[in-house]
Amino acid sequence: REAVAGSEMSLVCVGTPSLASGRLNLDYVRKVSEQISAAIATKGSRHVVIFRSTMLPGSTRSMVNDFLLPPRTQGNTDIYYCPEFLREGTAVKDFREPSLCVVGTHDGNAPATNEAMELLGEKAEVLAWEGAELIKYSCNYFHALKVGFANEIGRMAKFVGVDGARVMDVVCRDEKLNISRYYMKPGNPFGGSCLPKDVSALSSLARMEGVNLPLLDNVLDSNEAHLD
């Protein structure tokens, strides 16, 4: 309460660990939100709350709807969701020089006041709360896919007797198609004469030779699901 009364902004960065079921545990976020909300009520003046904890899409709005934090229309609180993009070992540097800046607002419009933009940079991307929450998961999902993909290429490279690191280094040199915006947009499933045939052929080779490439095995299934 003393901290809220003596400041203009609260950053919520508490942990959101996994439950035994695999679902997200938001108990810590909810608890601190209740405490901040109570402190704002006694403060009697405007306060900014910026969530930085990783939360699934809909979490911020759910907490506002549950009155854990008052929406702007009901009080003196401005609420933003601004995901962190920090790496272990370089977190301070990444905070000061972020690779991506995102500000989530209740309606997807730029903040009426500029505290969040000042904190994260004038070039921050502005979306609705749910969009900002999903961006964090999209980035981590993509990073996980990249790690898995590179390791699968490494296993196949080892099988055929070549240097997998060298193969991936050359793949990454193509910044027109491989390291680019190309193909990175939701839309139609892939088709044509190349991608289905080549994915199928490499997957078939891996299965025949006993090279375990589960990501590759599921690419065609994912594409068919999207087609359906």
**Can you read off the two tokens belonging to residue 180?**
């680019």
**Which amino acid is present at 163?**
D
Known catalytic membership, residue 194? yes
Backbone angles phi, psi at 121, to 5 degrees: 115, 145
Give the number of other CB atoms < 10 A from CB of residue 150.
15
**Can you read off the two tokens belonging to residue 17?**
């660990």
Alpha carbons 134 and 141: distance in angstroms, whole number: 10
- Residues 6 or more apart whose Cβ sits within 8 Å of residue 48: 8, 9, 10, 77, 78, 79, 80, 113, 115, 116
Task: Return the H-helix or E-strand segment holding 49.
Answer: strand 47-51
Alpha carbons 157 and 190: distance in angstroms, whole number: 25
Just list the catalytic residues. 194
